[in-house]
Every structure is written in C-alpha cells, then in structure tokens.
C-alpha cells in the first residue's frame, strides 16, 4: 500500500553552510558580507515556492525485481521505497531566473533546492529509522548496481506517484525529486 506524507516546509529548510558550499561559496565569509541579505532573500523566495510531498511503501525484498535491489541490501528482509519531491514551482523559479539571465539567483536557488530535498530525505529517513530500527544506508538509483532508469519502475509501478514524470533516461520531473530505498535488518 502506498502512503503519502505532506511534510511541513520547515522540514525542508537546508543548512546554509551546505547549500552555499554546493553553490561554491563559503558561509563564514558570506555571513560578513552584505550579499548575505540577497542570499537570505532568495532562501525565503525559494522556501515559498516549494510544495513538498513524500510517497512511500514497504516491500518484501522477494517481491521486487532483482535489478532494483542494491548489492548492499543482501541481508535485509523488508525494504522501504520512498519518493520525495519539492514540486513544480521551484523548478519554474529556477528556470525563470535562468531564462532572465540571472545566473546568480538561479545557481543559488538550484543549490538551495538540492539541499532542501536532501534535508527532507534526511528527516524522512530519520523518522523511518525511529520506527524500524537498524537499516542500511539510504540508497538511490543511479548509484552502485542500480540503474537510474529504474526510477520509472519505482514511480510508475511501485509508488504510482502521478505528479511525477520519469523520462526514459530516468530523470524525473519535477527536477527536485528523488527516489530512495532503505533496507531493514530486523523487520
């Protein structure tokens, strides 16, 4: 059974040090600079545009195709697969800035959103672990032995997340979307 979860936006507020590092900047230096006001303003603009949603479901390892099982999941019984997205509007904002030639804004918001999604995944991950105890590291298709194109299978067949489109390449739209898996050792 597929569940959906609407997280509070606050769960997606990224750590500034990390998203600025993604954008190639050093927070400790920027905090002393007038530019931090611009960064904060973009932070808040991006925050207003996200609409985070999580789809998730639990599977027996045996019911999943072999191509979807990471090598590192050898000793697991059940697997949680989840998809997190920040929604369409944040993509539109990044594109708007990019198309207007505002590369700085576009870069900052893109980095912000990537880290925001990561923050959301960390929070979802933590909540699952609080419930199910010991598990594998969080894993996403495109790493290790699992092809990124498996995203299509996850989105369309397993989670039936109709708000997310998957291209043949495995790239998902909205862009700020990820699929993740955690294998549980004792469940």
Partner 1 sequence: MRRNEFFQLLQERVLFLDGAYGTEFFKRGVNGLIELLNIEDPEEVQKLHREYIEAGSDIILTNTFSANRLKLRAYNLEKDLERININAVKIAKSVSGGKFVFGDISSTGNFISPLGDLDFEEAYEVFKEQASLLIEAGVDGIILETMSDLKELKAAIIAVRDLSHEIPLIAHMTFEADGKTVSGTSVEIFATLMNDLDVDVVGINCSLEPDEMLPVFTKLSELSMKPLCVEPNAGKPILKKGRLSYKTTPKEFAVYMADFIELGANIVGGCCGTGPEHIKVMCKYISNQKPRKRQVKREQYLSSRTILRPTDTFLVIGERINASGKKKLQAKIQQMDFSQVVELSQLQEQEGCDAIDLNFGIEKLLTHDHFRRAIVELDKRSSLPVSFDIQNLHFLESAMREYAGRGLINSAFAREDHLEERIRLLKKYGGMLIVLAMEKHVPETAQQRFKIAMKTAEFLKDHDVDLERVYFDPLVLPAGAKNDYHATLKAIELMNRAGLKTSIGLSNLSFGLANRESVNAAFLALCIEKGLSAAILNSAEATTMNVLRGALQLKGKEPAKTEQVIEDELVKLIVSGQKEKLMNFVKDSLKEKEPLYISQNMLARAMEQIGTLYSKGIIYLPHLILASETVQPAFDYLNNLLGEAQAKLGKVLLATVQGDIHDIGKRIVATVLKSGGFEVYDVGKDVPAQKILSECERLKPDIVGLSAMMTTTVGQVKEVSDLLKKNNVRVVVIAGGASMNEQLANQFGVLYAKDALKALEICKKIVRKENER
Which positions touch partner 1 (CB under 8 A)?
9-10, 13, 16-17, 27-28, 31-32, 34, 36-37, 40, 43-44, 47
By beta-carbon proximity to partner 1, the closer residue of 31 and 134 is 31
> CB of 146 within 8 A of CB of 68?
yes
Q: What are the contacts of 93-99 at 24+ separation with CB within 8 A?
A: 93/45, 93/46, 93/49, 94/175
Secondary structure (DSSP) of 157-172: IIS--TT-EE-TTS-E
* Element containing residue 152 per DSSP (H, E): helix 150-152
Q: What are phi and psi of 76, to 5 degrees?
A: -95, 155
CA-CA-CA-CA dihedral for 162, 168, 170, 173, to nearest 10: -40
By beta-carbon proximity to partner 1, the closer residue of 25 and 146 is 25
By beta-carbon proximity to partner 1, the closer residue of 118 and 154 is 118
What do you get for the CA distance between the two ends of the chain, in Å? 17
CB of 112 to partner 1, least distance (A): 11
CB of 93 to partner 1, least distance (A): 17
CB of 46 to partner 1, least distance (A): 11
CB of 100 to partner 1, least distance (A): 24
Furthest CA-CA distance within the chain: 56
By beta-carbon proximity to partner 1, the closer residue of 29 and 145 is 29
Q: Taking the CA atoms of 118, 170, 49 and 31 in sequence, report the sign of the dihedral they define.
A: positive
Q: What are phi and psi of 104, to 5 degrees?
A: -60, -50
CB of 16 to partner 1, least distance (A): 5
CB of 136 to partner 1, least distance (A): 25
By beta-carbon proximity to partner 1, the closer residue of 40 and 131 is 40
By beta-carbon proximity to partner 1, the closer residue of 28 and 62 is 28
């Amino acid at each position: 059974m597929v569940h959906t979860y609407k997280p509070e936006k606050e769960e997606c507020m990224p750590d500034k040090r990390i998203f600025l590092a993604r954008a190639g900047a050093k927070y400790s230096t920027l905090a002393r600079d007038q530019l931090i006001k611009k960064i904060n303003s973009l932070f808040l603009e991006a925050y207003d545009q996200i609409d985070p949603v999580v789809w998730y479901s639990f599977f027996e390892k045996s019911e999943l195709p072999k191509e979807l099982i990471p090598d590192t999941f050898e000793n697991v019984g059940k697997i949680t697969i989840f998809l997190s997205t920040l929604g369409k509007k944040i993509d539109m904002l990044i594109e708007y800035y990019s198309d207007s030639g505002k590369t700085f804004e576009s870069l900052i918001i893109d980095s912000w959103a990537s880290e925001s999604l990561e923050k959301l995944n960390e929070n979802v991950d933590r909540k699952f672990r609080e419930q199910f105890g010991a598990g594998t590291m969080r894993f996403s298709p495109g790493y290790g032995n699992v092809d990124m194109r498996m995203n299509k299978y996850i989105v369309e067949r397993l989670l039936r997340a109709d708000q997310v489109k998957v291209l043949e390449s495995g790239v998902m739209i909205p862009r700020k979307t990820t699929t993740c898996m955690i294998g549980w050792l004792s469940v």
